[in-house]
Amino acid sequence: MSENVEKDRSQVRQKQMIANHFERLSRAKEEGKKVVYTFVPGNLTELLGALDLLPVLPEINALQSGMRKKSGGYISAAEKAGHSEDVCTYVKCDVGMLKNGNFGPTGTKLPEPDLLLLSYTGCFTFMKWFEILKQEYKCPIVMLQVPYQSEGEITEEMRQYVAEQIRDVVVPALEQTAGKKLDMERLREQLRWSAKAEDDLVKVWESAKKRPSPIDGYFGGVHYVGPIFSSFRGSEEAALYYKELREEIEERVARGEGAMTPDGPQAKEKYRLVVEGPPNWTSFNDFWRMFSREGATVVASTYTRVGGLYDQGYRHSPDKPFESMADYALGCYTNLNLPSRVNLLEKYIKEYDADGFFINSVKSCNSFSVGQLLMLRELEKRTGKPGGFIESDLVDPRYFGKANIENRVQSYLQMLDARMNRPLVPGEGLPVALPVLGRAP
Amino acid sequence: MSQEVTTLGDPAAPLLARAQAAIEDRSLNGVKAWKAANPGALAIGHMPIYTPRPLIEAIGALPVAMFGGGDQVDIIRGDSYFQSYICHIPRSTIELALGGDLDALDGVVFPAICDVIRNLSGMWKLLFPEKWSAYLDVPQNFDRNLGGKFYGLELRRLARELHQRGAKELTDDALAQAIADENERRAAIAELDLIRQKEPWRVRASEAYLMVRAGAAIPAREHTKLLREFLGIAGDRKTRAYDNVRVVMIGSFCEQPPIDLLRALEKAGCDIVWDDAQLGMRTIEGSIELRTSEGGRSALDALVDAYCEQGAATASRYIGNEVKGASLIDRVQKTGAEGVIFAAASFCDPALLDQPMLETALNVAGIPHTSFKYAENTAQFQVIREQAGAFSDSVRLFGGGA
Amino acid sequence: MRCVVGIDLGSTTTKAIVLDEHGKIVGQGITNSRSNYEVACAVAREEAVTSTRFSLLERARAAHPDGESVKADMKELQKAFRLELFLEELKELSDTMLRELDRSLTQRALRSVLRPAAEKILERTRDQAPAQFLGDAPRRSDFFRDLASAAFNAGAEEAAKEGSAPFEPLIGLFDRAILQVETRVVKADTSTLLRRAVQRIPAASRDKLDAVVAEASKEPIDEISFTGTGYGRQTLPFPKSAIRSEILCHGRGAHRRFNGTRTVLDIGGQDTKGIQVDDRGVVTSFQMNDRCAAGCGRYLGYIADELGLGLHELGPLAMQHKRVLKVNSTCTVFAGAELRERLSLGQRREDVLAGLHRSIMLRAMSIIARSGGITDEFTFTGGVCKNEMATTMLRQLVAENYGSQITINIDPDSIYMGALGAALFALDDVREGRPAMLPAFVANAANITPPIDLESAAACVTEH
């Protein structure tokens, strides 16, 4: 989380988990392990785990490249190779990384995929992304179409469609790659661990309802959701991580400590915010500090829910494996229609007692961004809380104008301040017209 | 060498003028007139690419293809809802709707095109809660029993919801009739496309565009009539062959290129023998077959099967296991085209993400190509004209291997 | 007098406003922003304080039994004071220039030619200054740089024509000197300049004026709080506690200027802002143009460059349109291409320009809509509001989209709104007991401008 702050136990564990995973990946080919490239939204990690398949997540690689300041070069490489400047920079970052030897976040070369598992179609770009990878790798591809919750609910038709695809299309393809049959008991075991981790994660999220909030639910939050969004859900290790994390947070609450920031615990929680939209990864800590140094803590965010709306009751279930995985894929935050997203944000603003909300609108991600200006207005109308709005990007450093963004963030926080508690000098009519005098050089 | 079709004494001129007028009817006066003539019937708008119009006609409603605002609409409120990195069609669509130009519509269908149009469907629900609207999830899994089954349920849902709002109940007979009407229209469009390919000087791409677009807001039968009338006259036009380069234009399936852009390309020496503008009018390749012999498949199943099995390759359609670009190369060969022009709307995710893959395929096949971007309200074509001119010259001089 | 200062460091100009303890505006100053922001702020503040001194003078005059009889002379005194400032500044320039000439090795060969030529220009500028300042003819600019530059350019051209000195080295000399002068803060000795200015007033009024000046000079100007704001993309040379966002300041300033204001549109050189304020002038929502420059002042600048026109010529030219052509490109780069293409098609320049103005205002309307639309009253501020075609288009679009009942406020002095808002925030801080102090470079070590010592000032005049 930060350079100058002592790491918590959970952080140490997470770091070790990630290192182990990439270590396993680097040995995969020699050990005969099979590798599946797949996505975070709608991910079927428990299935992969039950079949001993190793996941690689191009999205995570792209965001890591962004944090390691590599994405700018990768994106340029992709654009030089003919990819449009208009489109998603995750895709271009991934393509550029591929063209530069496919070295992953830890610097080791990533193994080529044995299977491309397109686990989510709620983002159209994902389909294009894997079509592009399909052109690069000569391996099979399997797709799970995830219908959009256009009427604000998961219908039985949708659930059946997705569950049937998992059963009839995805599982056979995975079995083919793994070279063995799926053991349903192992799958159930994985799902049990998932549900356990999910219980603890919800407690972590909801700790932010306290004052002061012991966590930052956005900048800090993306670290907390790492294991459950990526390759570890369904493992005992991940469940342990979330247990440890929950205990640490409970200790913070007991000590009355504010949220952890890049500069240590938040001294005074001045503003409580809800944030919509993904973070920017190339200037992650700079962006965080624009808030934390002004005393703003994010108490809830929608980005941390793209990997599952656990706080709205969803759990993986060993009793209905395929149906619950279907509900998981269908229930991603960005698979909700706009009215549902507004409802959820409204709920967060109220339940977490926020002073305002802030939207980081990223160029790359139209499934997130389109409609956010309307959401802004709708939320202001419904909650009476002021909204802030900026534009940036996920991993394209050209789209993070630091001074410009800082200006807007500060304007927003000052506006919040002025609205919250400052008495003002009243206006006093027209000023006297004065001549301009003095020494203009 | 004059490349203008002489309109003086052109027997097709009145029909083309009629088509032009239909496109410029942004306030949908034609739809209002249709509704007045058919009291109680619904008019249902739909965004580009593909919406099964026969389904809408079968329940007595008028399908109205919505192609944005073109280049004549001032965008204020539309821009206020969209960031700078988003394409133009949702801006003009919102502008028209908030300005009351779409009031004649009783509902809107947003077919699955891309994330922008998908989210636009939700914006619609927030902005016009009193109006019916639906997002239509088309299948990306083309197995009849999986994606097909789901799509069939989606179509039934649409018909059911519209019936609740006053449309007729969906019957197999009515749908079969509507499909037959649609097939007639498709056949007429196919003939028009054939003339473009065989004798592009007789019907230019920009003219074919007008004639197809003229059917956006009228029933299939009327459109067929109009097209037949035009086809009957097309052979009598006094024109002569030009030495132009034959190109396929791709990427314009949703936000439409300004018609002056097509004309600019023609002036630059390109005969567009096929394009994917207004793709929704011909997404299904060939006619929709009623497969009653195949174990009781209904008319609705016919729509589903046609989508799964005869859908044209487009950037919005997932192509996993087939070879990417194969269908484009096939199109180039079938139409005898000498090159490909990628013309995508700025910020059009599907088209622009597709393009490098298609370019790779074309490079392997040795088919020359060029690309540019436009917006529906682009007003200057100088650069595009020069680029297309240089492209057509190079193809003419150096041929396919250039 | 106890007062507060607000400074707005903009991308092209820096403005300062001084308010008294009751929130009444008592001084304002402006200067061109330059590479050294600290100097720009110091100069603007210095100007505003001097202007405050004149407010005190005006108060003293009004209170004086014979005040009415010297009303006109007070105006003359202001002009004379400005002249004295100019001469002071010119002396500084002259010294710098001659010093530079002596020091420069590269111009050693030319020294004997350049020196008399420069001295001649400087002397003539000095001689012509009284007519320029004391007369009623408007000056092209109030900025020393502009005035001196114009004089020097003309002089250098003439010298080159006569063959007495080459043009380029002469101008080069001026450029180096003005750069140095511009980045130095020289504290004006107001008392001396004031005394000298009085000497330029007809003898008959001088005694009465002297009394007024003596009365007004007794009072110190005590700056008790300070707030800075400015063009957000640049680093402001102020301590953090003294900075308020330009959005907040613009909104508050516009609301103070026109009390009914609920919506503000500000189109500046670099960005366009749509701001909503409540009945206290507190910003409740705002939107700015995104990454692209479409629809802000730079767009017009680009068009002016494209046509080889001055920015101020665009509006009047566009007003001569016969019809407003539809221009679709809001993108700055494409607009240039579209402009060229349309002109090459033979379309009237005035008509295309009118279309371009409409296009920029359409963008602005979108930004306002994004921030929540227009609520009566509507105030338009920023550099572009001086452009008649822009305001015409705005009025038309507001009427079309929000009805003709909306009151539209446009004030040519709206350039001060940011500084005014900043000063109001400084006053808030005073009332909350946490005033921010002026940075040393602005305040020149002390926040109090002492009362004027008339006796020693008189001595200075005599010596001079």
Give the tens place of pLDDT for each residue, C263-289: 999 988 778 899 999 998 999 999 987
CA distances from A55 to A24, A38, A45, A174 (A): 11, 7, 8, 12
Q: What pLDDT does residue C445 have?
A: 35
Range of the domain at A243: 9-419
Q: What pLDDT does residue C134 have?
A: 85
Using pLDDT thresholds of 50, 70 and 90, give the confidence band for residue A268. Answer: very high
Does residue A433 sit within a domain? no
Test mutation, C13, C20, C25, C184, chain A, max A CBs within 10 A: C25
Q: Is C195 on the interface with B (CB under 8 A)?
A: no
Q: Which two tokens stand for residue B390?
A: 């240089």
Which chains sit next to A, with 3 or more Cβ pairs under 8 A?
B, C
Which chains sit next to C, with 3 or more Cβ pairs under 8 A?
A, B
Q: Which two tokens stand for residue A438?
A: 């003095």
Same domain assignment for residues C84 and C185: yes
Contact B285, B356 (CB under 8 A): no
Which chains sit next to B, with 3 or more Cβ pairs under 8 A?
A, C
Among B82, B122, B346, select the one facing A86 at the smallest CB separation.
B346
Asked if the Cβ–Cβ distance from A366 to B116 is below 8 Å, we say yes
Q: What is the 3-state secondary structure (H, E, C) of chain A?
A: CCCCCCCCHHHHHHHHHHHHHHHHHHHHHHHCCCEEEECCCCCCHHHHHHCCCEEECHHHHHHHHHHCCCHHHHHHHHHHCCCCCCCCHHHHHHHHHHHCCCECCCCCECCCCCEEEECCCCCHHHHHHHHHHHHHCCCCEEECCCCCECCCCCCHHHHHHHHHHHHHHHHHHHHHHHCCCCCHHHHHHHHHHHHHHHHHHHHHHHHHHCCCCCCCCCCCHHHHHHHHHCCCCCCHHHHHHHHHHHHHHHHHHHHCCCCEECCEECCCCCEEEEEECCCCCCCHHHHHHHHHCCCEEEEEECHHHCCCCHHHCCCCCCCCHHHHHHHHHHCCHHHECHHHHHHHHHHHHHHCCCCEEEEEEECCCHHHHCCHHHHHHHHHHHHCCCEEEEEECCCCHHHCCHHHHHHHHHHHHHHHHHHHHCCCCCCCCCCCCCCCCCCCC
C56-75 residues touching A, CB cutoff 8 A: none
Among C292, C327, C368, select the one facing B84 at the smallest CB separation.
C292
Q: What pLDDT does residue A221 have?
A: 96
Q: What pLDDT does residue A432 have?
A: 38
Range of the domain at C331: 259-410
Using pLDDT thresholds of 50, 70 and 90, give the confidence band for residue C198. Answer: confident
Cα–Cα distance for residue pair C75/C315, rounded to 1 Å: 32
Q: What pLDDT does residue C451 have?
A: 55
- Nearest chain B residue to C397 by CA distance is B76
| Listed residues C394, C410, C426: the one ending a domain | C410
Same domain assignment for residues C372 and C287: yes
Among A140-144, B280-284, C407-411, top mean pLDDT goes to A140-144
Same domain assignment for residues C452 and C367: no
Q: What is the mean pLDDT of chain C?
A: 84
Among B75, B83, B379, select the one facing C338 at the smallest CB separation.
B379
| Percent above pLDDT 70 for chain C | 89
Asked if the Cβ–Cβ distance from C362 to B74 is below 8 Å, we say yes
Chain B interface with C: residues with Cβ < 8 Å: 71-72, 74-81, 83-84, 375, 377-383
Q: Is A130 on the interface with B (CB under 8 A)?
A: yes
Among A6-10, A11-15, B167-171, C459-463, top mean pLDDT goes to B167-171
The single-letter code of the amino acid at C74 is M
| Percent above pLDDT 70 for chain A | 94
- Cα angle A65, A69, A71 (rounded to 5 degrees) comes to 50
Same domain assignment for residues C287 and C372: yes
Average confidence (pLDDT) over A297-304: 97
Which residues have C-beta within 8 Å of that of residue A48, sequence separation ≥ 6? A36, A38, A54, A55, A117, A174
Asked if the Cβ–Cβ distance from B319 to A131 is below 8 Å, we say yes
pTM: 0.89
pLDDT digits (tens, 9 = 90+) for B308-365: 999 999 999 999 888 899 999 999 999 999 999 999 999 999 999 999 999 999 999 9
pLDDT digits (tens, 9 = 90+) for A149-182: 999 999 999 999 999 999 999 999 999 999 999 9
C398 neighbourhood in chain B, CB within 8 Å: none
SS3 content of chain C, % helix, strand, coil (to 5): 60, 15, 30
Q: Mean pLDDT lowest for which of A215-224, A273-282, B185-194, B233-242?
A: B233-242
Q: What pLDDT does residue C296 have?
A: 74
Q: What is the mean pLDDT of chain A?
A: 91
Q: What pLDDT does residue A436 have?
A: 41
Residue bearing the bigger pLDDT, C306 or B172: B172
Residue C110 has pLDDT above 90, yes or no: no
Among B83, B379, B383, select the one facing C328 at the smallest CB separation.
B379
Does residue C199 sit within a domain? yes
A433 neighbourhood in chain C, CB within 8 Å: 413
Q: What pLDDT does residue A87 have?
A: 95
Residue C208 has pLDDT above 90, yes or no: no
Same domain assignment for residues C102 and C200: yes
Contact B95, B78 (CB under 8 A): yes
Average confidence (pLDDT) over A99-105: 88
Q: Mean pLDDT lowest for which of A192-201, B51-60, C183-192, C449-458?
A: C449-458
End-to-end Cα spacing for chain B? 25
Q: What pLDDT does residue C415 have?
A: 86
The CATH number of residue C307's host domain is: 3.30.420.40
Helix segments in B85-201, DSSP class H = 89-98, 115-127, 149-164, 172-198
Shortest Cα–Cα distance, A388 to chain C (Å):
8
Asked if the Cβ–Cβ distance from A141 to B320 is below 8 Å, we say yes
Q: Is C102 on the interface with B (CB under 8 A)?
A: no
Using pLDDT thresholds of 50, 70 and 90, give the confidence band for residue A257. Answer: very high
Residue A431 has pLDDT above 80, yes or no: no
Q: Is A37 on the interface with B (CB under 8 A)?
A: no
Q: What pLDDT does residue A440 have?
A: 33
Strand order in the sheet with B245-250: B270-275, B245-250, B339-345, B369-374
Q: Is C328 on the interface with B (CB under 8 A)?
A: yes
Contact C208, C70 (CB under 8 A): yes
Cα–Cα distance for residue pair C284/C293, rounded to 1 Å: 24
Give the number of domains in chain C.
2
Q: What pLDDT does residue C329 have?
A: 67
Q: What pLDDT does residue C142 have?
A: 72
Average confidence (pLDDT) over C100-109: 77
B82 neighbourhood in chain A, CB within 8 Å: 370, 373
Q: Is C281 on the interface with A (CB under 8 A)?
A: yes
Asked if the Cβ–Cβ distance from C328 to B382 is below 8 Å, we say no
Backbone angles phi, psi at C76, to 5 degrees: -65, -35
Q: Is A123 on the interface with B (CB under 8 A)?
A: yes
The single-letter code of the amino acid at A176 is Q
Asked if the Cβ–Cβ distance from A435 to C51 is below 8 Å, we say yes
Asked if the Cβ–Cβ distance from B352 to A84 is below 8 Å, we say yes
Shortest Cα–Cα distance, C112 to chain A (Å):
28
B154 neighbourhood in chain A, CB within 8 Å: 157
Does residue A424 sit within a domain? no
Q: What pLDDT does residue C441 have?
A: 67
Burial class (CB in 10 A: 0-12, 13-18, 19+), A376: buried
End-to-end Cα spacing for chain A? 50
Same domain assignment for residues C216 and C362: no
Cα–Cα distance for residue pair B276/B279, rounded to 1 Å: 5
Using pLDDT thresholds of 50, 70 and 90, give the confidence band for residue A90. Answer: very high
Backbone angles phi, psi at C378, to 5 degrees: -115, 125
Test mutation, A86, A335, A344, chain B, max B CBs within 10 A: A86
pLDDT digits (tens, 9 = 90+) for C215-237: 887 888 888 889 999 875 557 77
Residue bearing the bigger pLDDT, B5 or C77: C77
Residue bearing the bigger pLDDT, C332 or C144: C144
Q: What is the 3-state secondary structure (H, E, C) of A175-234?
A: HHHHCCCCCHHHHHHHHHHHHHHHHHHHHHHHHHHCCCCCCCCCCCHHHHHHHHHCCCCC
Burial class (CB in 10 A: 0-12, 13-18, 19+), A259: buried
Q: Is C260 on the interface with A (CB under 8 A)?
A: no
Q: Is A337 on the interface with B (CB under 8 A)?
A: yes
Phi-psi region of B295 (alpha: psi -120 to 50; beta: other; left: phi over 0): left
Give the number of domains in chain A.
1
Identify the structural domains of chain B with CATH numbers, from first to last: 25-174 (3.40.50.11890), 243-276+312-402 (3.40.50.11900)
Cα–Cα distance for residue pair C256/C426, rounded to 1 Å: 14
Contact C290, C370 (CB under 8 A): no
Among A81, A132, A367, select the one facing B115 at the smallest CB separation.
A367
- For residue A37, the cross-strand partners are A56, A116
Q: What pLDDT does residue A430 have?
A: 36
Contact C315, C387 (CB under 8 A): yes
